[in-house]
Amino acid sequence: MPKYLAGAEIRHAVEQLERSSAKGRLCEFLIGVRALRLAGVDQTAVAESVPVFIQALEEFTRWTSDDEADSPYFNPFGGQAGFKSRKFRSNGPSNTMHGWATQANSPFEILNTRPKSIKRRTLSSTQLRAFLIQSRRDNDRPRLIDAAVWFYRSTDLEGKDGTTPDRSALEGRFVTDLGLDEDDISAVFRLSDEDTEEDGFSGEIAGSAESLNLTSNTPDEADSGSELS
């Protein structure tokens, strides 16, 4: 029987990510590194015509399977968290990344291919944090587990032996699936030893994908409950 993270667990993760000190661009960074991981090479084009890029974009932002929804995408990170229109697929993260070409501490080199491509730049943890985390709010960095819960919000987590992952295993799977290294993690995320009283992760599992109302600001088309996709 398929086993998914419970809706309450995902809602909590979204609330935590929204309250974090992540800049909204963290979403684009994670989409970029995921696309590179899927491509299996050190550079990949970022455009609507590129399957690995679109897969990464939908894994991180698609919240409903309703193709008629006006705002089918959602960026959960930081104060700029919010719903995105259907145009987000074609001119959202790709345009954002292209704009990083001349920005200090950009995590990607923007290659002048057709369509334009990204390639990881070598940065220190300090540089990466400066680009992706709000200044003077280091202690409010997003938790790795909350990012993992969001990423696997619609994934069947049942293993071949019928078990489901604990926190450490889910975090490890996320790190592997994105190809993150220790510097990436320390720059951007908090781990369990930095948890506060407000943090939590129960690992609650539901038998099937649940309807999910992401936030109190859910668009009108999701008033009846948004789907995990």
pTM to 2 decimal places: 0.88
Question: H-type helices in 20-152, by residue range?
Answer: 26-39, 51-61, 88-91, 93-98, 125-132, 144-151
Q: What percent of the chain has pLDDT over 90?
A: 75
The model's confidence at residue 63, banded by pLDDT at 50, 70 and 90, is very high
Residue 229 resides in a domain: no
Count of domains forming the chain? 1
* Host domain of residue 85: 4-222
The model's confidence at residue 224, banded by pLDDT at 50, 70 and 90, is very low
Residue 56 resides in a domain: yes
Residue 36 DSSP label: H
Q: What is the pLDDT of residues 155-192, one digit of tens each?
A: 999 988 888 999 999 999 999 999 999 999 999 999 99
Mean pLDDT of 144-155: 96
Residue 227 resides in a domain: no
Position 79 pLDDT exceeds 90: no
